[in-house]
Amino acid sequence: MSMEDKNKKRLRRKKSTRARVFGTKVRPRLSVYRSSKHIYAQIIDDTKGKTAVSASDLKMASKKHKTADSKIDLAYQVGELLAKRAIKAKIKRVVFDRGSNKYHGRVKKLAEGAREGGLVF
């Protein structure tokens, strides 16, 4: 399978997911992007097209969060950090957008960390 075919399939999955998920001011969208090395999450108000809160493991891997043994543990910590920032910005309820990823592994752990941090979805 060529790289072009993989990208087409990934974009088709993402489009299918995004057709069902829309963030509002009351319930913004928690969007997750997972690369092979890092994980990124942001809370977006789709009516305005603005990102309210974001978090990633880029700075966490190099700083005090070095306690993570694996990328899964780091994803959990990113979820907790995102939830903490969201609650500070007075956001408690979100709609979860997994993008083109399965709800499994790092994406699932990020969601669990966000729930543990206080977000409701």
Q: What is the pLDDT of residues 67-103, one digit of tens each?
A: 667 999 999 999 999 999 999 999 999 999 999 999 9
pLDDT interval class at 18 (50, 70, 90): confident
pLDDT for 27 beyond 70: yes
d(CA 80, CA 26): 21
Q: Would you kindly state where each structural domain of the chain is located, as residue ranges? A: 3-117
Q: How far is CA 80 from CA 56, 60, 109, in A?
A: 11, 12, 10
For residues 20-28, average pLDDT: 90
pLDDT value at residue 119: 97
* Cβ 81 vs Cβ 40: under 8 Å: no
CATH topology of domain 3-117: Nucleotidyltransferase; domain 5 (3.30.420)
pLDDT value at residue 68: 62
State the DSSP H helix or E strand holding residue 15, giving kind and residue range, or none if neither: helix 3-20
pLDDT, tens digit, 9 for 90 and up, residues 38-55: 999 999 999 999 999 999
pLDDT value at residue 59: 80
Q: Can you give the pTM of this predicted structure?
A: 0.86
